[in-house]
Amino acid sequence: MSRVHTVVDSPYGPLTLVADDGVLCGLYMTGQRHRPPEESFGDRAEDGPFPEVVRQLEAYFTGASDRFDLPLSLAGTPFQRRVWEALREIPYGRTVSYGELADRIGSPGASRAVGLANGKNPIGIIVPCHRVIGSTGSLTGYGGGLDRKRRLLAFERAGERLF
């Protein structure tokens, strides 16, 4: 198999899902910072490896599920992968600061590096980089835009249904 993609609707605009050898390796929002070029997404495949991803996203957006159980291919540096794995441990509806996340991965004082890795997360929403905030509680940076981050956090806190 090779790299393929599809585009699905969401309450946050179209989401581009990308799979490599049948495993999800990207979930990108329109206008997302660090979004790879379209030509790197591979051929468009409406079915392919995506039905379970779509099912779990719909369950998340309707409030029927607060977790994802999908195989993921997270390509990045060892440090980035540590950060992205730690993001998956942040409970639904909760937030942590960049400094707290740096402590959790055993790199105290690396909050800036954690922020950079967080911003390059290739699988937004499923790997919940939106749950990381500034030390003062401010909504600092988000590759998908601060409005989306605000809306995702409000959705998770309120448990409201989006679909």
* CA distance linking residue 97 with residue 68, whole number of Å: 22
Q: Quick check: is 25 catalytic?
A: no
> Which amino acid belongs to residue 86?
A
The catalytically annotated residue of 96, 129, 133, 153 is 129
C-alpha 151 chain-centroid distance: 14
* Residues labelled as active-site residues: 129
